[in-house]
Amino acid sequence: MKPGPVMVTALLALASSLGAADIPAHPRLLKFEPLVYHPPKAAPHRYALANGAIVYLVEDHVFPLVNISLTIRTGQYLEPLEKIGLAAMTGDQMRAGGTGSLSARDFDEEADFLAASISSSIADTQGNAGLNCLTANLDASLKLFFEMLRNPQFDQQRIDLYKSRRLQALARRNDRTAEIEGREWERLLRGDRHFSTAQETKASIESITRDDLIAFHRKYYQPASLIFAVSGDFPPKQMLAKLEQAMSGWETARPAVPKIPRPDHTPAPAVYMIHKPDVNQGRLSIGHLGVQRDNPDHYALQVMNSILGGGAFTSRITSRVRSDEGLAYSASSAMALGTYYEGTFRASFQSKSATCAQAAAIVLEEIARIRKEKVSAEDLATNVNYAIEVFPRFFSTPAQVAGAFAGDEYTGRPPNYWETYRDRLRAVTADDVLRVAQKYLDPDKLVILAVGNVDDILKGDPTKPEYSFQKLAGRQPIRRLPLPDPVTMVYPQP
C-alpha cells in the first residue's frame, strides 16, 4: 500500500471544501441565461453583378484586412480520363505561372512585397481562388488577383517544376498507411470508374501540355461561373464598384457544365487486408454507403452517429475502444452526407497489430447495439443539445459567414435551411434514432478494410483468442488486396 498519493488527494479535497462556500456541488446546479441567437440571412448580403457573377459582402472593420474567397463552377470531374491531374494542375499553375503583364517571378515578387496572399486551386467538384490583403493595399492586390483569374500565362518552366514535384509525390503513394487506407477505402466504396477515385499516373501527368491548361482555364473561368465571398474592411458600395471594374470586358458566355456524375458501384461486403510490413499499428475502416444531404432523415442520422461514434469522448465507439480498453488513440465514426450523391458511413480506428480484431469486434457490437436498443434520454439530450448550442460557431467570423452563403448558393442548399436547422434537430426523438439506425446501418453490407502488418494483425492477441478477423469475416475468405505500382497505378493480378 502506498500512503503518499492518498494523502495528497485528501489534502486537496480539504482545501477545496474550505474555500468553496458559494460553489454548487455539481455543475447541474448552475443556472444559465438563455442564449438567443439568430443565424445571419444571406439575401441582404447578396449582389448580382452585370456580368452574371454573384457577390456576397460581409463588412467588418476590426482589422485592416480584406478577404476574398471565390468559388468557380468547375472541378476535377470535368477532366478527360487520359488527362487525370489536368484540373488540379490548371488551378495550381494559374497562381504559379505568371500573367499577361507579369512574368511568374515578377508576379510572385509583387504579391509578396504587398504581403498579399493569393491562391488558386481546383478540387473535385469546384474551383477556388483566394485573396487576403491589407486594406491599404487593396487596389494593387485586386489587380494581381484578377490578372491571375483572367489572364494566366502558364509559364512552361513552372509547369515542368510542377510535374517534377507531382511525379516525385506519386512515387511515394504507398509509403504511408494512412494514405493507402484512404485511397483503397474510396475504391472499395466507389469503384474504379468514378471520377472521385481517378488517380494521377506518370503517363497522365506527362501527357498534359500548356495548351491543355490554357483551354481548361478558358472554358470554365468566366464571370457567370463565379461566386465571390468578400469579407473585411471595405464600404460595400465601393467594393462592388471595384469588382465590376476589375471584370469589365470579360466575356460573359456561361460555359455548359455537365452535371456531377453519381457513382454506379455496389461495394462488395467482406474483410479486406493490405500488407505493409514495417508498421506496428493497423489502420481500420468499417462502413458502407450512406445518404445524400437532402435526405430528410439526416438530422436523426447526425444525432445517431454522434451517439455511436461521432461525438468524441461521449460517443460509444470512442468510449469503449479508447477509454475502456486503451486499444486506440483515435476511434470514431462519421456519417458523411453527400452533396451530389450518396455519402458514406465509416467507423475507423488505429490499434497495435495484435488488438485490431478486438477493437473491430467492439465497433461491430456497437453498430448492432444502436440498431437494437433505443438510446437513453440522456444520450439523446446530450447530443441534440450539443448540435443546437454549437450552431452559432458555424458563423463565427465574417469570412465564415460570407463563405457559408457562397457555399450554399454553389451547392444549391434550400434558402431557409439554417433558419429551421435547430428546430429540426430539436424534433429528433429516440424512436427516430432507432428507426434511422435500422434503416441506414446494415451489418450485412459492411466493408472492413485493414492496412498494416497483416501477418501480425491476423495473429491477434494470444491472450484473447476469442477475437479474430476470420470470425468477423464469417464463412467468407479474408481478401488480401495488393498495392498498385505507385507510379502507374497498375494493380498486380492476384
Partner 1 sequence: MTRRLAGLLLATAALWGQKVPVQEYRLDNGLKLLMMPRRGDPNVAAGWVARVGSVNERPGITGLSHLFEHMMFKGTHAIGTSNIAEDLKNLREMDAARAELRQEELALIERHRRGQIEDPKDPKARTPRHARLVEQYDALVKRGRQFLVKDELDRIYRSAGGSGLNAGTDSDLTIYFINVPSNKLELWFWMESDRLANPVFREFYAERDVVHEERRLRTDSTPTGRFREQFDSLFWLSSPYGWPVVGWPSDLEGINREEAEAYFAVNYAPNNLTACLVGDFDPARAVELAKTYLGRLKRGPREPEPVRTREVKQLAEQRMIAHAETNPEVHIRYHTVADNHVDEPALIVLASLLNGRTGRLYKSLVIEQQLANNASAGARGLKYEGFFEFVGVARPGKDPVEVEKAIYREIETLQKTPAGDRELQKVKNQQAAGDFRRLQSNFGLLMQLLSYDALGGWETINTFPPRIQAVTAEDLRRVANKYFAPENRSVGLYYTKTSPGARPAGGSR
| Cα-Cα-Cα-Cα dihedral sign, residues 164, 165, 166, 172 | positive
Q: Least distance to partner 1 from the beta carbon of 388, Å?
A: 7
Between 79 and 184, name the residue whose CB sits nearer to partner 1.
Answer: 184
Q: How far apart are CA 84 and CA 89, in angstroms?
A: 10
Q: How far apart are CA 135 and CA 368, in angstroms?
A: 56
Q: What is the DSSP string of 15-82?
A: HHHHT-TTS-SSGGG---------PPPSGGGEEE-TTS-EEEEEE--SSSEEEEEEEES--GGGS-GG
Q: Least distance to partner 1 from the beta carbon of 342, Å?
A: 28
Between 248 and 396, name the residue whose CB sits nearer to partner 1.
Answer: 396
Between 439 and 464, name the residue whose CB sits nearer to partner 1.
Answer: 464
Q: Least distance to partner 1 from the beta carbon of 178, Å?
A: 8
Q: Least distance to partner 1 from the beta carbon of 366, Å?
A: 14
Between 174 and 207, name the residue whose CB sits nearer to partner 1.
Answer: 174
Between 158 and 288, name the residue whose CB sits nearer to partner 1.
Answer: 158
Q: Least distance to partner 1 from the beta carbon of 255, Å?
A: 30
Containing H/E element for 283? strand 281-289
Between 85 and 452, name the residue whose CB sits nearer to partner 1.
Answer: 452
Q: Least distance to partner 1 from the beta carbon of 442, Å?
A: 28
Q: Do 283 and 451 contact (CB within 8 A), yes or no?
A: yes
Q: Least distance to partner 1 from the beta carbon of 261, Å?
A: 30
Between 5 and 100, name the residue whose CB sits nearer to partner 1.
Answer: 5
Between 73 and 322, name the residue whose CB sits nearer to partner 1.
Answer: 322
Parallel, antiparallel or unpaired: strands 271-275 and 479-481: parallel
Q: How far apart are CA 32 and CA 125, in angstroms?
A: 43
149 Cβ contact partners less than 8 Å away, ≥ 6 residues apart: 70, 94, 120, 129, 221
Strand partners, 117: 132
Parallel, antiparallel or unpaired: strands 226-232 and 447-452: unpaired
Q: Least distance to partner 1 from the beta carbon of 132, Å?
A: 7
In the numeric block, which cell numbers belong to residue 130? 483566394
